[in-house]
Amino acid sequence: MRKWRSRALSPESNRTLILDAASALTTDARPLRILVIVNGEWDPRFGAVRVWIELAAEWTKAGNLVEKFCLTDAFPRTTKSSALAAFRLLLFPFRAARFVRANADRFDVIDAHIGVLPFSKKSLRWKGLLVARSVGFYRLYEKFEKAAAKRWPPADKGKLSGRIFYSFFKKRVRAASEASVKYCDLLNLPNRAELACVRNEMQLTKPAMVQPYGLAPSRHRALSSIANSVESRWRAKKVCFLGMWSARKGAHDWGQIIQGIRARVPSARFLFLGTMVEDRLVLNDLNLGVPDFLELVPQFAPDDLPGLLTDCTVGAFPSYVEGFGLAVIEQLAAGLPTVAYDAPGPGEVLRDALPDLLISPGDIPSFSEAVATILERDLASYQDLCQRSANVAEQFSWPRIAQNTLEEYRLRLT
């Protein structure tokens, strides 16, 4: 059985480990005691936190002992103040460190979001394996933010005090992220673009592994169960976007994308799921009035997703940078061909098996054309594409990914 596939992206002596998502490892080893640290609410509606939630579930099923320290553990009382919420994020690493010091003898591995534990193991008084996990590498996100500020300058820059605080906040977050990368034993990254940034831009030889994200078997079954209604979905001509509404995920592109698609397929309809903002903000960005061909669902329970996708024909995901793009995997699992920008994250999913669904970031005419072309396919051609999409999703399974991750952690502990 294959274990890890090693690729030398630089001449450093440390191994660069790339997860083979199609292989599963089995090992007779003692259970690991793992502490997960993430500065968000322990809620599966939030994609970043969901990574740890689902990994923790798989690790626990395998007999390991998993605990978490999240934002609500550090700050049990909720707040509606955005300033206080930001201040709490700055304080979170110190509370996380206090928790680690108080429980240092209880854990073998700490799997922490980059930036939330920016301290040396000596200062933490802890000797286990310290993993810094990325769910979207801060340097790549910074590059997008700088480009976006030039391309789509905000009409209202806000108050001077707010801009000063935001600048201070970003500097502190970046410093904490850099320190996390410096002090960790192992980087856990979700795509090769992030690894290239670490190796080529940051010039670091830090041990690193690249692993994808996946779906739990129950979720995969629920999503794939709707893949049988191919003909009715083909007739519906409905385009689905799944994700939070933001510039990074294409908010400024969608108005033109919709116009381009409907110019070729006038009957096309659109469904935006999980925007997490008020409808008026979406409509303002689209600048299309209040169209009767658009349905907005700001929030939904994760278990409701299969039902919401039942009558969708094609997915569309014009995100400029992701950690991995679970939304793409979910739609593929439902048998929905999904067009995406060839950006960090989605590119990893589609490049080998469905390269025609990848579009150069920002190429709105080509993106619209790719979606419209799928809507115009004959039924047999569409059925074939749906099956190929579902086949791609099968490669990404949390049980295999979780087991492979544990195997590497055990190797690093020995």
- Same structural domain, 191 and 284: no
Q: Please determine, for residue 23, whether its predicted confidence score (pLDDT) is greater than 60.
A: no
Q: Please determine, for residue 3, whether its predicted confidence score (pLDDT) is greater than 60.
A: no
- Same structural domain, 206 and 243: no
Pairwise CA distance, residues 56 & 50, whole Å: 10
- How many degrees, rounded to 5, is the angle at CA 326 between CA 324 and CA 52? 85
Q: Which helix (H) or strand (E) holds 398?
A: helix 398-413
Residue 75 has a pLDDT of 97
Confidence label for 7 from pLDDT (cuts 50, 70 and 90): very low
Q: Where are the alpha helices (DSSP H) in 106-207?
A: 121-124, 138-151, 160-183, 192-196
* Its pTM surpasses 0.85: yes
Confidence label for 48 from pLDDT (cuts 50, 70 and 90): confident
pLDDT tens-digit readout, 384-407: 999 999 999 999 999 999 999 999
Q: What is the mean pLDDT of residues 55-76?
A: 96
- Same structural domain, 209 and 222: no
Question: What's the total number of domains in the chain?
Answer: 2
Residue 307 has a pLDDT of 94
Note the Cα 184 to chain centre separation in Å: 21
Q: Please determine, for residue 76, whether its predicted confidence score (pLDDT) is greater than 50.
A: yes
Q: Which of 53, 106, 3 is nearest to 406 (CA)?
A: 3
Residue 234 has which token pair? Answer: 């083909």
- Same structural domain, 122 and 187: yes
Residue 229 has a pLDDT of 82
Confidence label for 14 from pLDDT (cuts 50, 70 and 90): very low
Q: Please determine, for residue 313, whether its predicted confidence score (pLDDT) is greater than 90.
A: yes
Task: Give the other-Cβ count within 10 Å of 328's Cβ.
Answer: 31
pLDDT tens-digit readout, 199-256: 999 999 999 999 999 999 999 999 999 876 899 999 999 999 999 999 999 999 999 9
Residue 340 has a pLDDT of 98
Q: Which helix (H) or strand (E) holds 368?
A: helix 364-376
pLDDT tens-digit readout, 101-134: 999 999 999 999 999 999 999 999 999 999 999 9
pLDDT tens-digit readout, 164-181: 877 888 999 999 999 999
Q: Check which CATH number belongs to the domain holding 297 and give it.
A: 3.40.50.2000
Q: Please determine, for residue 351, whether its predicted confidence score (pLDDT) is greater than 50.
A: yes
Residue 226 has a pLDDT of 81
- Same structural domain, 55 and 184: yes
Strand-strand pairing, 5-6 and 16-18: antiparallel
Q: Which of 240, 313, 303 is nearest to 275 (CA)?
A: 240
- Same structural domain, 229 and 199: no
Parent domain of 193: 5-214+397-413
- Same structural domain, 184 and 222: no
326: CB partners within 8 A, 6+ apart: 47, 50, 51, 213, 215
Residue 12 has a pLDDT of 37
Residue with token string 């658009």: 294
- Same structural domain, 250 and 320: yes
- Same structural domain, 41 and 161: yes
Q: Using an 8 Å Cβ cutoff, are 16 and 6 in contact? A: yes
Q: Using an 8 Å Cβ cutoff, are 114 and 134 in contact? A: yes
- Same structural domain, 124 and 195: yes
* % of the chain exceeding 70 in pLDDT: 92
Q: What are phi and psi of 106, to 5 degrees?
A: -100, -5
Q: Please determine, for residue 22, whether its predicted confidence score (pLDDT) is greater than 60.
A: no
- Same structural domain, 198 and 302: no
- Same structural domain, 150 and 232: no
Residue 90 has which token pair? Answer: 């700055």
Residue 233 has a pLDDT of 95
Pairwise CA distance, residues 207 & 18, whole Å: 11
Q: How many residues does the chain have?
A: 414
Which one is predicted more confidently, 47 or 286? 286
